[in-house]
C-alpha cells in the first residue's frame, strides 16, 4: 500500500472525527479524499460519498433518537421530496450528463471537471455558512408549523445538490428546519442527520444499477469513518465545538478554492 493510499484511509477517519466533533460538515471532505488521494473518478466518488455520508450520519441519527432530539414527523415531511429528488438525480440525471459539456476559450469542460467545479462551489458556500454561524442553540419548544410548498421546493433543491456532489447538504437543511418548521436549533441539527442519512442512502441505491461498486473498499472506508465518529464524540468533551466549526469552515473554504484552481489550471 502506497503512502497516498494510507493518507486516503486516514482521511476517512478524519471525516468521521469531524462529524463526531461538530455534528456535521465532515461529509464535504469525502469526495476530495476519494478523488485526490485515492484516485477514484468523480462520478464514482460522489456515489461512494452518498453511502459513506448515509451510513455515518445514520449512526449519529440513531444516537439522537435515543436522546429524543429527533422530530420524526418533520424528518418525514422534509425527507420525502429530498429522497425522491436525490434518487432521480443519481439514477437518471448524472448518467445523462455528457462527457463533454462545453468548450470555452479553448478549455474543455468535461463531466468530471464540471462535477468537481460544482462541488467546489458548494464547498465555498458551505464554508461561509460554517464561518458565519453564531453557534447559538435555542432549546425552547415552539409549535411546529409546516410551509409545505417551500418544504417541497427546498427538499427537491437539496436532493438534486446531494445527488450531484454526494455531500449531505446540512448547511441548507438546518436553516430550512429552523425557518420553515420552526424547530429549535438543537432539534434541527439532530433531525437533519436523519434526513441526510435517509436521502443519501436512497440516492446511493440509484447508483447501484449504473456503477460497478467495490464493496470491500467501500465497507472499509465507511467503517473507518464510523469509527472516527465515536472518536470525535469522545474528543468533543475536551474541545470547543463552536470554535472548531469556524476553523473547519476556513479549512473547507481553502479546499474549495484549491479545487477550483486545480480543475481550471
pLDDT at res. 143:
63
Identify the residue whose cell numbers are 449504473: 210
- Is the CB of residue 24 less than 8 Å from the CB of residue 170? yes
Share of the chain above pLDDT 90, in %: 17
Least confident of 59-63, 164-168, 201-205: 164-168
Three-state DSSP class for residue 101: strand
DSSP conformational letter for 106: T
CA distance 181 to 245: 24
* Kind and range of the H or E run holding 107: strand 107-110
The answer, yes or no, to whether residue 44 has pLDDT greater than 50, is yes
- Mean pLDDT, rounded, for 67-77: 87
What is the average pLDDT value for the chain, to the nearest integer? 84
Supply the pLDDT for residue 165: 78
Mind listing the pLDDT tens digit for each residue in 137-157?
444 555 666 777 888 888 888
Q: What is the pLDDT of residues 108-123, one digit of tens each?
A: 888 888 888 988 998 8
- Name residue 262's beta-bridge partners: none
Q: Binning pLDDT at 50, 70 and 90, where does residue 40 land?
A: very high
Buried b (16+ CB within 10 A) or exposed e, 186-225: ebbbbbbbbbbbbbbbbbbbbbeeebeeeeeebeebbebb
pLDDT of residue 128: 86
Q: Is 238 exposed, middle or buried (0-12, 13-18, 19+ CB in 10 A)?
A: exposed
Write down the domain spans for the chain. 3-264
Q: Across residues 226-236, what is the average pLDDT?
A: 85
Q: Tell me, what's the pLDDT at 1?
A: 66
**Residue pointed to by grid coordinates 469552515:** 249
Q: Is 116 exposed, middle or buried (0-12, 13-18, 19+ CB in 10 A)?
A: buried
Going by C-alpha positions, the residue among 93, 128, 110 that lies closest to residue 245 is 128
Residue 139, pLDDT score: 47
Picking from 53-57, 60-64, 143-147, which range would have the lowest pLDDT averaged per residue? 143-147
Residues 6+ apart with CB under 8 A from 176: 78, 150, 151, 154, 158
CA dist., res. 135 & res. 153, Å (int): 26
Cα distance between residue 165 and residue 129, in whole Å = 17
Amino acid at each position: 500500500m502506497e503512502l497516498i493510499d494510507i493518507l486516503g484511509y486516514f482521511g476517512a477517519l478524519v471525516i468521521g472525527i469531524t462529524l463526531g466533533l461538530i455534528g456535521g460538515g465532515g461529509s464535504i471532505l469525502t469526495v476530495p479524499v476519494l478523488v485526490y488521494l485515492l484516485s477514484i473518478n468523480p462520478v464514482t466518488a460522489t456515489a461512494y460519498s452518498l453511502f459513506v455520508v448515509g451510513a455515518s450520519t445514520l449512526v449519529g441519527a440513531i444516537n439522537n433518537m435515543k436522546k429524543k432530539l429527533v422530530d420524526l414527523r418533520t424528518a418525514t415531511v422534509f425527507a420525502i421530496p429530498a429522497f425522491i429528488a436525490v434518487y432521480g438525480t443519481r439514477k437518471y440525471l448524472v448518467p445523462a450528463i455528457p462527457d463533454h459539456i462545453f468548450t470555452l476559450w479553448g478549455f474543455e469542460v468535461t463531466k468530471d471537471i464540471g462535477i468537481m467545479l460544482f462541488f467546489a462551489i458548494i464547498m465555498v458556500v458551505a464554508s461561509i455558512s460554517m464561518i458565519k454561524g453564531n453557534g447559538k442553540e435555542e432549546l425552547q419548544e415552539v409549535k411546529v408549523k409546516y410551509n409545505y410548498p417551500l418544504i417541497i421546493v427546498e427538499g427537491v433543491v437539496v436532493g438534486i445538490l446531494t445527488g450531484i456532489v454526494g455531500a449531505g447538504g446540512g448547511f441548507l437543511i438546518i436553516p430550512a428546519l429552523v425557518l420553515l418548521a420552526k424547530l429549535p436549533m438543537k432539534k434541527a441539527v439532530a433531525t437533519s442527520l436523519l434526513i441526510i442519512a435517509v436521502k443519501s442512502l436512497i440516492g446511493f441505491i440509484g447508483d447501484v444499477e449504473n456503477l460497478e461498486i467495490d464493496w470491500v473498499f467501500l465497507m472499509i472506508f465507511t467503517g473507518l469513518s464510523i469509527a472516527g465518529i465515536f472518536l470525535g464524540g469522545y474528543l468533543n468533551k475536551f474541545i470547543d465545538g463552536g470554535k472548531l466549526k469556524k476553523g473547519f469552515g476556513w479549512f473547507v473554504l481553502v479546499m474549495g478554492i484549491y479545487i477550483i484552481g486545480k480543475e481550471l489550471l
